[in-house]
Structure 1
């Protein structure tokens, strides 16, 4: 077998189409089988487009689960990454660095937050928030030690750690991974009455996604998030909104909470905070909750490192400077209208907000995976979720012309 290493400089031979089989065989033989990707091996990306090792071009309609909202290899973020990488990449939080304070200032000014806890992955941000609201509950609310409860919603997706999968309602996420951490109560998503009934004096927080992404772009009923906010305020409970997938422009607003005019006590961001370049996430909070942390109680070697902060600062800047949020609202409405016109009787529902869209098929369609495979052959990359649902979530830089190009092919496959 030839070497699978991609070319490192111009002039070196690129992999041939036949190498695809070699890449897939090596992954299957040496890698853990915890993913089921489509059979495409990508080697380059620019904007909304990616290319495989054989040189075929595809329109990316997944955006790395919304981690590349700004488009692949955005030149300004790339420039910031290279410049910072040549100066200083990592100090740990044992010392200060000159990128952390500006990052704090800029993200707080943009989101209206009071304090920031920088981490690396989305799951780390979720775990950090869970720890902080528990500590707040014991120190400030007066909940008895080890009795704090956090309310979550069915069909949630907040990550893959032991604590998080313990309150998942997905049997594949939970099976064979127990025992799990106690202290979580699960209620149906979108049901304000069930949430109200679940709140007790031990409840310290409600953790919720404004729109459930992994569940298939499930949008709650109008007024639901407003009611959740009001219930939390009335009961002295902290509202945590997981905006790791919905935030930073994906839904046509900076944060999805803006669609109902509310503000969370803690907001979790990640994915697009990196611009697709470098893992970075953050807990955005009021001072009350993050104010309970003391030195030594929580941390991360890489959290808040200068390279991550420099990348995040530019990732946020281009979102605003280049009107990507407004473009997501406009192009999302256009894309949704086109998808709703497909007219396939096997389509059960088409829904979305901004550029977070989904097409759900009836069970008799035989699942969404075959459609994704056929779309790949037409030059469109998307992925199924929950068997019968395809998500369409291209980078926020997509144009109407590119949507029209995609719709011609989508109509051929599922129209």
Structure 2
């Protein structure tokens, strides 16, 4: 049963229909390329939502996975293992963090951070019991758990999943006055993406984060940056906060932390927030397991040692400039930093999905978001020649598909 249609038919018959993928069935990946079951090659311009920043099947990460898989995979946190300490050291050094809490999925990191800042609010800030508030932002995306979708502003993500946990206040992303007004004595944290990925690569106004940082410091509010998609080189810096010249109190990383081999996430803290967690109060069977730690250490190592972050800045700037140069009535705006890019189409262009289908026919896999945007986020190992190859196809599709 190798034919693509058979695979898709079986998925449709047996799987929950909570995704609407492009009609392509992939079987192999290497670097920036993937191949479908019929042998056709594509340039991956999604990178599994930035989980494969290091490229598909990076040989050094693979080696770390196989070596560790033969030795020890899981101990739970009931015992120590010899990979966790090294993982802590590596990630603390690269991000300037003082404390690390390892988890698995990005959503788990978000939930863990919310629990920790609430506890910190009660025990350190003196917020009255069960009154802690976390400020979140319109069009946010922080995962799919009940806790997280409860403060989403997307009706599709929220619809018919309630009742939801209280304690979240939504303000408009990019509006610093609205944020300042929302702060009360019960505010324990602000949870925000430095660039909103799922919303279509939305970049906040200049100075927004600097002022937010000042307000958080002034009111003793924890600034939590969700860098699960923006972190680890995607925007041309190790962390996207570096573009804003600020430091978060708590930073969330995931996705590319394992280079796509294994779910690994972490809550990183520069403050006393994680200090409030005592034995038995929070945990995860797989969080901090030796296999995940070994993979994450290799994933971080190649990101830095192979110059992927600098390459992201260089190729991303070129890619964006060239995309902006494409003359097309369909294009409303090009946005992005590093290799986190989006082309927003005019509403009358007929939606981004058909453009993504046309790109697929020409050997490029990109994904539509919010109806009118095409997200472009290739692995950070992409070369100038590969960017040029992609640009020819984007130009063709943006000027000829209507």
Range into which the TM-score falls when normalised by the shorter chain:
over 0.9
Matches within 5 A, 1:128-207: 128-207=112-191
User: What is the deviation of 1:286?
Assistant: 2.4
- 2:37 aligned residue (37, 43, 53): 53
Native 8 Å contact 2:110 2:252 kept in 1? yes
Partner of 2:205: 221
Partner of 1:266: 250
SS state of the match for residue 301, structure 1?
A: coil
User: What is the deviation of 1:410?
Assistant: 1.1
Partner of 1:370: 354
- 1:72 aligned residue (29, 49, 56): 56
Partner of 1:122: 106
- 2:268 aligned residue (248, 268, 284): 284
User: What is the deviation of 1:338?
Assistant: 1.0
Partner of 1:102: 86
Give me the whole-angstrom Cα distance separating, in 1, the residues matched to 2:60 and 2:344. 36
Runs of 4+ in 1 over 3 A off after TM superposition: none
Matches within 5 A, 1:315-394: 315-394=299-378
User: What is the deviation of 1:346?
Assistant: 1.9
CA-to-partner distance for each residue in 1:59-84, whole Å, 9 max, x for gaps? 00000000000000000000000000
SS state of the match for residue 291, structure 1?
A: helix
Native 8 Å contact 2:122 2:132 kept in 1? yes
Give me the whole-angstrom Cα distance separating, in 2, the residues matched to 1:225 and 1:396. 25
Give me the whole-angstrom Cα distance separating, in 2, the residues matched to 1:220 and 1:260. 10
Partner of 1:21: 5
User: What is the deviation of 1:287?
Assistant: 4.5
Give me the whole-angstrom Cα distance separating, in 2, the residues matched to 1:279 and 1:22. 28
Instruction: Indicate whether 1:85 and 2:65 are aligned.
Output: no
TM-score under structure 2 length normalisation: 0.99
Instruction: Indicate whether 1:302 and 2:290 are aligned.
Output: no
Give me the whole-angstrom Cα distance separating, in 1, the residues matched to 2:271 and 2:212. 21
The runs of 5 or more residues in structure 2 that have no matched partner are none
Instruction: Indicate whether 1:36 and 2:20 are aligned.
Output: yes
Native 8 Å contact 2:249 2:271 kept in 1? no
Give me the whole-angstrom Cα distance separating, in 1, the residues matched to 2:260 and 2:110. 19
CA-to-partner distance for each residue in 1:331-381, whole Å, 9 max, x for gaps? 000100111011112211101000000000111011000000010000000
User: What is the deviation of 1:100?
Assistant: 0.1
Give me the whole-angstrom Cα distance separating, in 2, the residues matched to 1:287 and 1:335. 37
Counting matched residue pairs gives 399
Give me the whole-angstrom Cα distance separating, in 1, the residues matched to 2:345 and 2:270. 41
Give me the whole-angstrom Cα distance separating, in 2, the residues matched to 1:115 and 1:287. 8
Partner of 2:227: 243
CA-to-partner distance for each residue in 1:230-289, whole Å, 9 max, x for gaps? 100000000000000000000000000000111000000000001110100000002410
